[in-house]
Chain A
Amino acid sequence: MVRIFFIILFLTIGTVISYLMITNAGDRKKRLELHVLSGAGLIRPMEELLSSFEKEHQVKTVFHFGGSGELMGQLAMKQPSDIFIPGANKYIKDARKRGWISEGTVRDVVKHVPVIAVAYDNPKQIKTLEDLVRPGLAIALGDPDGCAIGHLADSILKKNELYDRIQPNIKVRTPTVNQLLLYVALSKVDAAIIWEDMASWSKSKDKLGVIRIPDDQNIVKTISIAVTAHSANRESAKVLCDFIGSHRGRHIWLKWGFEPCTD
Chain B
Amino acid sequence: MHRLDLFKGSMIVFACLVSLVLLFAIGSLFFIPEWSDIRASLASEEIIYSLGMSLMTGIFSTVLVMLAAVPIAYSFSRYSFPGQRVVRTVLYLPIAFPELVLGLCLLLFFGSSFASTFFQAVGLDLVFTKKGIIAAQFFTALPYAVRIIKTVFDSIDPQLELVSRSLGYSQIGTFCSVSLPLAKSGLKAATAIAFARCVGAFGSVLILAGGTRMNTETLTIALYLNMSYGNLDLAITAGMLLVIVAFVGIYAIETMESRSPAIRRTT
Contact = CB atoms under 8 A, between A and B. Distances in A.
A88 interface: no
Interface in A166-200: 171-176, 179, 182-183, 186-188
A174 B231 CA distance: 17
B227 A70 contact: yes
A143 interface: yes
B192 interface: no
B229 A188 contact: no
Given A172-B128, A186-B107, A66 B210 contact: no
A73 interface: yes
B228 interface: yes
A73 B210 contact: no
Given A174-B211, A188-B111, A143 B230 contact: no
A209 interface: no
A179 to B, nearest CB: 8
A171 B210 contact: yes
Contact of B228 (A73, A77, A188): A73
Nearest to A74: B230
A200 B229 CA distance: 27
Contacts, number: 66
Interface residues of B, number: 21
B108 interface: yes
B111 A143 contact: no
Contacts of B111: 186-188
Interface of B: 107-108, 111, 127-128, 206-207, 210-213, 215-216, 224-225, 227-232
B63 to A, nearest CB: 26
Nearest to B214: A173
A146 B229 contact: yes
A200 B134 CA distance: 35
A75 B230 CA distance: 9
5 contacts: A70-B227, A73-B231, A140-B210, A145-B213, A174-B211
A66 B128 CA distance: 22
Contacts of B224: 175
A63 to B, nearest CB: 17
Contacts of A66: 228
B232 A173 contact: no
Contacts of A171: 128, 210
Nearest to A91: B230
Given A72-B229, A73-B232, 14 more contacts: A67-B228, A70-B229, A73-B231, A77-B232, A143-B211, A145-B213, A172-B216, A173-B215, A174-B212, A175-B225, A179-B206, A179-B211, A188-B107, A188-B128
A69 interface: yes
Contacts of A145: 213, 225, 229
A172 B210 contact: yes
A182 B232 CA distance: 27
Contact of A143 (B108, B128, B213, B227): B213
